């Protein structure tokens, strides 16, 4: 029997329950998120290891590809921001990114740049996108998985929608989660660091 649909539902239910329980738990939100994402990663690996996109002919090559793609995407985003400031006198990133100043930067990095991207790539691309692709054309699976990914973050954001599309396309191209995981993690790192660096440098709009 195919366990993937039941696992997809179980992970969604765990997410809903964890969010409902959080106000009464009373622990640091980052630590709480780390625990929840760790449970989700463990569940996916235990019940769908061979079907979650974690296998690759060379994980190191996929990680290197992810780094190269992340650098290219980051450079393109910053170049577009500079061009917008030159042409229009104001950039677009300050309207999309909210500065985050966590009390524990290392815990923030561990959660936002490692644990959460790993859990989300295993689930949204390795399981959910692959399951959708068996039922929809690739473009439909990319769009639906990206819409669910963006919606699952609580507040629907064009940044998360674009990320969901990008991660699914990279997953489809590479056949494993690793390149998309690196792009996802470094993207979260950029969302965190760019506003802080811009603000510290006195760049207008932040």
Cα dist. 102→3, 41, 193 in Å?
38, 24, 11
Tell me the residue range of the domain where 105 lies: 4-200
Residue 1: per-residue pLDDT: 60
Residue 205 falls within a domain, yes or no? no
Residue 206 falls within a domain, yes or no? no
Phi-psi label, residue 146: left if phi above 0, alpha if psi -120 to 50, beta otherwise:
alpha
- pLDDT at residue 97 is higher than 90: no
Residue 45 falls within a domain, yes or no? yes
SS3 174: helix
Cα dist. 192→100, 113, 114, 189 in Å?
6, 10, 13, 5
Contact status, residue 158 vs residue 95, Cβ threshold 8 Å: no
* 6-20, 57-71, 119-133, 185-199: segment of lowest average pLDDT: 185-199
Domain tally, the chain: 1
Q: Give the distance, in angstroms, between the CA of residue 123 and the centroid of all CA atoms in the same chain.
A: 11
Contact status, residue 175 vs residue 56, Cβ threshold 8 Å: yes
Residue 71: per-residue pLDDT: 98
Name, in order, each residue with C-beta under 8 angstroms of 5's C-beta and a sequence gap of 6 or more. Answer: 131
- pLDDT at residue 206 is higher than 70: no
Residue 46 falls within a domain, yes or no? yes
Residue 94: per-residue pLDDT: 87
Mean pLDDT of all residues in the chain?
Answer: 93
Residue 67: per-residue pLDDT: 98
Whole-model pTM? 0.94
d(CA 194, CA 206): 10
Reported residue count of the chain is 206
Residue 18 falls within a domain, yes or no? yes
Per-residue pLDDT band for 62 (boundaries 50, 70, 90) equals very high
By CB neighbour count within 10 A (0-12 exposed, 13-18 middle, 19+ buried), where does 96 fall? middle
Residue 100: per-residue pLDDT: 81
Residue 202 backbone phi and psi in degrees, to 5: 75, 25
Contact status, residue 204 vs residue 97, Cβ threshold 8 Å: no
């Amino acid at each position: 029997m195919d366990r993937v649909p039941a696992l997809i539902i179980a992970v969604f239910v765990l997410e809903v329950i964890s969010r409902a329980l959080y106000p009464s738990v009373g622990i640091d939100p980052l630590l709480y998120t780390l625990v929840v994402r760790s449970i989700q990663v463990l569940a996916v690996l235990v019940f769908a290891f061979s079907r979650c996109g974690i296998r690759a002919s060379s994980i190191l090559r996929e990680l290197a590809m992810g780094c190269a793609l992340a650098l290219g995407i980051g450079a393109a985003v910053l170049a577009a921001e500079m061009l917008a400031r030159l042409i229009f006198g104001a950039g677009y990133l300050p309207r999309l990114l909210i500065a985050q100043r966590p009390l524990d930067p290392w815990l923030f990095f561990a959660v936002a740049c490692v644990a959460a991207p790993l859990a989300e790539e295993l689930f949204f691309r390795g399981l959910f996108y692959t399951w959708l692709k068996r039922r929809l054309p690739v473009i439909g699976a990319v769009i639906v998985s990206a819409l669910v990914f963006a919606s699952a973050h609580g507040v629907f954001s064009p940044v998360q929608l674009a990320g969901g599309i990008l991660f699914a396309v990279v997953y489809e191209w590479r056949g494993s989660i690793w390149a998309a995981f690196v792009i996802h993690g470094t993207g979260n790192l950029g969302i965190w660091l760019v506003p802080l660096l811009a603000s510290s440098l006195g760049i207008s709009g932040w």
